[in-house]
Structure 1
């Protein structure tokens, strides 16, 4: 049976009904697609931001670590060369040229001494200036460019030294036009500043770790002037515009006059990332090979230890941007993976495998990171052990030096005892003879029942024994090998102890000993036993010099600066009326093992030990010839000032 057309129409969907689901599906797909695109974009932005911050933080950390290492290396070099002037000021040759600046022989000896010291130290120049800033002697005295005769009183390092403190100054030499770092040290003679010793170090010839660094490194002074850098074209430029006051100060010291006008480096600020400032390289200066003025660079600052200098580095941020791009891609990939998981449930197994692969890659990266941490930790451990070994070696060297000094002091004591042996033997021989006679008489008197007289003999024997014990006790106290106890002592007691050991020899040789001591004598900052040894050595030398002369005489005087002097000093003088000190021996008088006595008499250590003892106590010892004839030695020591604040605190 055939159906009617109306039946057929009743089962066919209408055209509007068919288009509605399609439109809904299309709209839903559009919404889902838009959401997916938005999610991907958001993941990319978040990944880029996180990756940028993380990579920038790592770049900043690595750059800061390198910069600290660079600063420590530079600080170590400054410390290594900074001790040189303080060693040079101890030279008697340098002191001689300040005492006799017009003596050609003194000047020539100083020039040659400074030339040898400069060659051994590897410095650019070492020179000596008087109190007016005039160069008297220099290591480059025989070079085409010599500092001799140049007046450098305008330099800050000279003014600092004349104020009594070490100086340090970097600048371009006004004589040589060569930049360098200048160290200075005041040279004191008898407590006053008699001149200045200066050393110049060419830092361009000192190997610095940043010379092979890929990033530009700059060292700037407190005015913001770049004076050391791995980029030659940036040297002697400023980080910012200098004020008129700073330019006037630089003109007065002529610190960078030879470099011409100081131009601004013109680093352009380009924002911040992860706490680090970004800059563009200057257009008006040479850009190092491999770098671009269009890219941004992270500026890291650090202090150079022991100075007011700053060390800076500019780290290329292209790797940071690349890492951020990779992080953004990773975020996009992660979002796409999530979307693929939500949209294609049928591919769940594949997605799980991809996640497992990603996890393994992350674990591998974590393992690599742990390995890097272990390697760096091991490197730091090795460095710490090396530093500890160096500290131990220095401590051992100091102990060896201290032990050697104690042995030299003991040798000086034994030499002094050897010279006093005859007198001491005579001093003990008389009581021994009397003891022999008295003991024999006591036996006879006891046999004759004369107890009273025997008792008197025994009392005499007791007195003689006590006298001998006093003599041997003084000898044992003097000869005892013990470390110095740096406690306040009195000069008069040290003089009395030394005179008691030499009393027999003084009487035997008819020496007229005159001692003048103040009534209100304060203590000095020196160990009394060591001070006794110094006085004894000077007395022995004086008596040796008076041998065979008529009316021999030794004067010992003690003077103190008035209260209120800062610092207050004591001056102990030992003088004789002998032949005096030969001129050719004056410069070498305090050298170890140098002596003007006959061979076999003394070790030549007495004056050297005396000088070392006075120096360790914060004082000095000088020798001179008296106008009326004879020699005079003056020991200058600081007066012990008790800490008033500690007494107030105790109260």
Structure 2
């Protein structure tokens, strides 16, 4: 064996080792990058699934709060109207897809139920105990009085003396919620504090239990299927043998949901990430080997330049084909991302509408008061007009009829504001009368402010002030800020809400309250940031974030700062000029 042959063999071995090391490094880097991208997508999917579950459970909580004020609650507390209540509860359960609707008395015993038996004792359950203490309660599990998995919402029912006389319990069946999730691309499941799978879009995982102190799940019968887990680049990977509808190797992500006492988890198949990393490593190895082969051929076959050129052209063609395939894959990925951005825009629009409806829910009591007062006044004026006509005093009757007309116009104005505020609109930026928008917003919250004993300091202007924006969305911003101010003053002794217009450059609207102020002004506009207690019914911390985005879309700004007593939200708007119109 010649020395030159040994020398060339050593060079080839070293080169191949370097190519193998480079390919392994490229594979590792590409795999971790793909895992990071999968993690971001998975976190987004898990957040959407979590919001969807919380939204589906939210309507059952609102149903419990609504039924707690029904007149039948007073009758049931007195031991009457059981059959009427059962018929009503059954009708409500059928129309809302609730598993059961029940009324429990002050001792925690079921007085009437849509489907379950009466007489059951729920006094030991945490959600009923919390409701009997005057707060909203919730719980979940597989327990009496129903068979199967259910999520329970309990709302207190107050008597005429202001004391708790019982509670309305609404049970939401998990089977009905899961039916809408079947066939999802990601395997998503929600576990409780004991590590048991309570809700999932994979029926084979229902009621699986997490082993104490470790990852993974095991079925209720205790026969654990194959499972292993390991860490890769800061990501937790599960190696599964749980059936054909679950990935063999999956990225495991977790999101805690303290509002409903569950933990959301998702399993994402990492096979595409491995295939992509393998493809990139193969391309790098092919390029390196091609370069080495070309260099070797150029050195060894200088005399056969034509043949070497032909081989080079062949390899260049193969590389071009591979790059073309990669380019096609990148175009497909760009198309998918555009579709995801479109879906995100639709989801953001839905969040804006949900925020408006949430604000209407908060103001429902005040709005009812605002409409009830004119109705009672109309009835009184109508009766007086009849008496005056009988007594031969038509001028007094005409005066009462004029007051009835004024009350009707007032009710029409309130209803018009509600209808305009609740409509989902995406109007373009136009010329908007700021005074009219502020008048409508103040009128919408005035009922709740009056019920809370809040003094509203607002002096409407006589002349219109034209600004750039959308009337409905600009009104939503002011309503959100005013309702947040009312929420902040719920525990204050002095309750005063101030709304003022500051002329200048830029034009500002200041909304002041006499609450405790803002704890972290720099975070108040972040999504999902809230200073309210976990589990509160006011929302999820999206109202100010949505309002901030609306004002930025109008070219405006929202700022907040604390004062000696309370906080001031300053809204900057763009004045409407002829240059803007052009």
TM-score range, shorter chain: 0.5 to 0.7
Alignment of 1:419-434 (within 5 A): 419-421=383-385
Task: Kindly indicate whether the alpha-carbon contact (under 8 Å) linking 2:182 and 2:202 is maintained by their aligned counterparts in 1.
Answer: no
CA distance in 2, matches of 1:646, 1:316: 49
Matched, 1:298 2:277: no
Shift of 1:178: 2.3
Shift of 1:74: 1.0
Task: Kindly indicate whether the alpha-carbon contact (under 8 Å) linking 1:236 and 1:262 is maintained by their aligned counterparts in 2.
Answer: no
Matched, 1:370 2:345: no
Q: Which residue of structure 2 aligns with residue 525 of structure 1?
A: 453
Task: Kindly indicate whether the alpha-carbon contact (under 8 Å) linking 1:71 and 1:303 is maintained by their aligned counterparts in 2.
Answer: no
Shift of 1:524: 8.8
Task: Kindly indicate whether the alpha-carbon contact (under 8 Å) linking 1:237 and 1:264 is maintained by their aligned counterparts in 2.
Answer: no
Q: Which residue of structure 1 aligns with residue 190 of structure 2?
A: 219
2:107 aligns to what SS in structure 1?
A: coil
Shift of 1:38: 1.6
Size of the aligned set, in residue pairs, is 420
Q: Which residue of structure 2 aligns with residue 70 of structure 1?
A: 49
Matched, 1:277 2:236: yes
Q: Which residue of structure 1 aligns with residue 124 of structure 2?
A: 154
2:135 aligns to what SS in structure 1?
A: coil
Unaligned 5+ runs, structure 2? 299-304, 415-442, 457-485, 497-513, 517-562, 567-582
Q: Which residue of structure 2 aligns with residue 122 of structure 1?
A: 97
Q: Which residue of structure 2 aligns with residue 611 of structure 1?
A: none
Give CA-to-partner distance per residue, 1:60-87, whole Å, 9 cap, x none: 3333332222212211111121111111
Distance 1:47 1:264, change over 3 A: same
Task: Kindly indicate whether the alpha-carbon contact (under 8 Å) linking 2:57 and 2:172 is maintained by their aligned counterparts in 1.
Answer: no
Give CA-to-partner distance per residue, 1:540-587, whole Å, 9 cap, x none: xxxxxxxxxxxxxxxxxxxxxxxxxxxxxxxxxxxxxxxxxxxxxxxx
TM, length-normalised to structure 1: 0.55
Q: Which residue of structure 2 aligns with residue 609 of structure 1?
A: none
Counterpart selection for 2:277 from 316, 324, 329: 324
2:123 aligns to what SS in structure 1?
A: coil
1:326 aligns to what SS in structure 2?
A: helix
TM, length-normalised to structure 2: 0.61
2:170 aligns to what SS in structure 1?
A: strand
Give CA-to-partner distance per residue, 1:150-192, whole Å, 9 cap, x none: 1111111111111211111111132443221111111110210
Q: Which residue of structure 2 aligns with residue 98 of structure 1?
A: 77
Q: Which residue of structure 2 aligns with residue 578 of structure 1?
A: none
Give CA-to-partner distance per residue, 1:225-254, whole Å, 9 cap, x none: 2222344454333223289xxxxxxxxxxx
Distance 1:355 1:330, change over 3 A: closer
Task: Kindly indicate whether the alpha-carbon contact (under 8 Å) linking 1:156 and 1:167 is maintained by their aligned counterparts in 2.
Answer: yes
Counterpart selection for 2:23 from 44, 47, 57: 44
Task: Kindly indicate whether the alpha-carbon contact (under 8 Å) linking 2:495 and 2:515 is maintained by their aligned counterparts in 1.
Answer: yes
Distance 1:360 1:131, change over 3 A: same
Distance 1:339 1:371, change over 3 A: same
Shift of 1:327: 2.9
Task: Kindly indicate whether the alpha-carbon contact (under 8 Å) linking 1:47 and 1:330 is maintained by their aligned counterparts in 2.
Answer: no
1:51 aligns to what SS in structure 2?
A: helix
Distance 1:118 1:374, change over 3 A: closer
Task: Kindly indicate whether the alpha-carbon contact (under 8 Å) linking 1:128 and 1:196 is maintained by their aligned counterparts in 2.
Answer: yes
CA distance in 2, matches of 1:325, 1:338: 20
Larger RCO (CA within 8 A; separation ≥ 6): 1
Matched, 1:178 2:148: yes
Shift of 1:268: 4.6
CA distance in 2, matches of 1:78, 1:298: 27
Counterpart selection for 1:289 from 244, 248, 251: 244
Task: Kindly indicate whether the alpha-carbon contact (under 8 Å) linking 2:134 and 2:156 is maintained by their aligned counterparts in 1.
Answer: yes
Distance 1:261 1:643, change over 3 A: same
Shift of 1:95: 1.6
1:201 aligns to what SS in structure 2?
A: strand
Q: Which residue of structure 2 aligns with residue 168 of structure 1?
A: 138
- RMSD over aligned Cα, in angstroms? 4.6
2:2 aligns to what SS in structure 1?
A: helix
CA distance in 1, matches of 2:88, 2:25: 70
Distance 1:184 1:262, change over 3 A: farther
Unaligned 5+ runs, structure 1? 1-21, 141-145, 244-259, 433-467, 490-522, 529-617, 619-637
Q: Which residue of structure 2 aligns with residue 379 of structure 1?
A: 343
2:95 aligns to what SS in structure 1?
A: helix
Counterpart selection for 1:336 from 263, 266, 289: 289
CA distance in 1, matches of 2:320, 2:356: 53
Distance 1:380 1:180, change over 3 A: same
Matched, 1:236 2:195: no
CA distance in 1, matches of 2:448, 2:350: 37
CA distance in 2, matches of 1:81, 1:234: 25
CA distance in 2, matches of 1:650, 1:181: 41
Distance 1:111 1:365, change over 3 A: closer
Shift of 1:130: 0.8
Give CA-to-partner distance per residue, 1:457-507, whole Å, 9 cap, x none: xxxxxxxxxxx9xxx89x979966657755999xxxxxxxxxxxxxxxxxx
Matched, 1:23 2:34: no
Distance 1:264 1:108, change over 3 A: same
Q: Which residue of structure 2 aligns with residue 199 of structure 1?
A: 170
Judge which range, 71-80 or 44-53, deviates more: 44-53
Give 1 or 2 for the bigger CA radius of gyration. 1
CA distance in 1, matches of 2:88, 2:29: 64
Matched, 1:58 2:37: yes
Distance 1:200 1:158, change over 3 A: same
Task: Kindly indicate whether the alpha-carbon contact (under 8 Å) linking 2:187 and 2:246 is maintained by their aligned counterparts in 1.
Answer: no
